[in-house]
Structure formats: structure tokens, C-alpha cells
Amino acid sequence: MTLLIFIDESGDPLQLNEGPYVISSVAVREEELGVIDNAFHDLIRSINGQYRIRVNEIHTKLLVKGNSPWRIPIVERARIFQEIADLISRLNIVLNIVAVVKARPGVEISRRRALGIRRHALKLLVERLYMTRADEELALIVLDSKNLREDANIRRDVERGIEEGLANPTYRTYITFSYSHREPAIQIADYVAYLVRHIIMKQYRWQSFDFERAFLTIESKIRRCPGEETYEECGLKVWEIE
């Protein structure tokens, strides 16, 4: 069978003044992917039926900000936000996360440097993917598709990360692209990246949203360091740039 690894991001390397740039991955065995798909489809059907809205996927930023189609009271959106965390906590998945932050104010980020930051962040993530214990000999990395040119650039960066990473590949790796509305696991990666971004900014609460509670709910899914209980520098890597 195949190990499936879904990747998404939150933030922008060009906008580190506004907050961290976070990339997260969700690893799941191929035979268990249907559990994720069914759970998210059931959740979306329940939301649409209860609130009489038309949601096709869960894009976390839209949910939190109340943008279309999430035109429902903020208290209800916060409840759904926590419900997603509860769902994630019940799934048989492994999370790896890389967050990029500025070490000090005044660090200038040019467009060229931003591309280098994303490239290195992907390398750090790939290293962690190969450190994730898996019995599979084959892995498929699935990234959220943007456009043909951007997808080609990201593919090149991931392939370079595989070649230059410090961790030896533990399985044959292939790369493909899909769309988040087709892949609930990409929606999970989006949720985790968005949530971790707020936690790193120490924004534990915002109005009715309790980001700290949600993070503590999914925390057990972050990959631990071998033989330890901590995930810092292992499943969760924070890279401070000078």
C-alpha cells in the first residue's frame, strides 16, 4: 500500500511582518483515506443542513473570518472550528509542521528571498516526512494545486528538498497535485497550518474562537521525537530567519 502525504500552507514568506509562514502535512495510509473523506463529507452535509448554507469544502480562513459562504453567527463558526479539531483528533494521521518566523524586527524579505524561504521550508518539511515511521515502500505527496507555473515551481522545490535533505529517503516518493475541494486531507493540512500560525503568534483566542483549545485537541497527532514526548524540532519545526 501507499503512504499518502497531503500538504498545504498558511501565510506568505513575503509577508512575515504579518505573521509566520506555516507549511503542514498530513500523512495517512492509503487504506484509511476513506475514513477521512467520509468524516469530512458527513460534517459538511451536517453544516449545510443545520445552517442552510452551501459549503463545498472547509477553507479555514474563510470560516474564521465569516466570509462567503460562512454567513452564520461567529459563535456558531467557532463551534464548527472546534468540531473540526475534535474530528482531526480521532483520525489515524501524523502531522508534520514547519513554521517560518522573523528572528527580529526589521528583517527585509525580497521576492527572491521569499522564494528561497519557501524552498528551504519545504526541505525542512521533507526531512520530517522521511523521519515519520512508515511501513510503506511508496509515498505519494499531494499538494494543493495553484496553477501550472506555480505547481511546476513547487514540484521542483520539493524534488530539490528530497535531494538535499539531511534525512535519507525511507520510501520511494512521487509528487502530484490536486484541489482542496476534492481532498479533505488537504483541508486538514490547511486547518492545521492556519491554527499553528495563530499559536506561534501567541494569539490563543480571538473573539469566540479558542485557538489554544483547538491546538491542544489536535496536539497528539503531531509527530514526536523518537523515544520522547516532545514534538519540538521534530513534528513541529520553527525556523527563525535573520
Among 237, 241, 201, 98, which Cα is nearest to 157's? Answer: 98
Q: How confident is the model at residue 167 (pLDDT cuts 50, 70, 90)?
A: confident
pTM of the predicted model, to two decimals? Answer: 0.95
- Give residues with Cβ within 8 angstroms of 234, minimum separation 6: 128, 131, 223, 224, 225, 226, 228
Beta strand pairing call for 94-102 and 236-241: parallel
Region 224-230 average pLDDT: 91
Place of cell 495563530: 198
Measure CA of the first residue to CA of the last residue in the chain; give whole Å. 42
Judged against a pLDDT cut of 80, whether residue 108 lies above it is answered with: no
Q: Is the pLDDT of residue 34 over 90?
A: yes
Please give the mean pLDDT across all residues of the chain: 93
* Confidence class for position 109, pLDDT limits 50, 70, 90: confident
- Region of residue 222 (left: phi > 0; alpha: psi -120 to 50; beta: else): beta
User: Which of 10-19, 164-173, 218-227 shows the lowest mean pLDDT across its residues?
Assistant: 164-173
Extended strands (E) in the chain: 2-10, 21-29, 94-102, 138-144, 172-178, 205-206, 209-210, 236-241
Q: Could you give the CA distance from residue 197 to residue 101 in angstroms, rounded to a whole number?
A: 10
How distant, in Å, are the alpha carbons of 54, 121, 126, 144, 181 from that of 23? 28, 8, 11, 12, 18
Write down the pLDDT at residue 125: 96
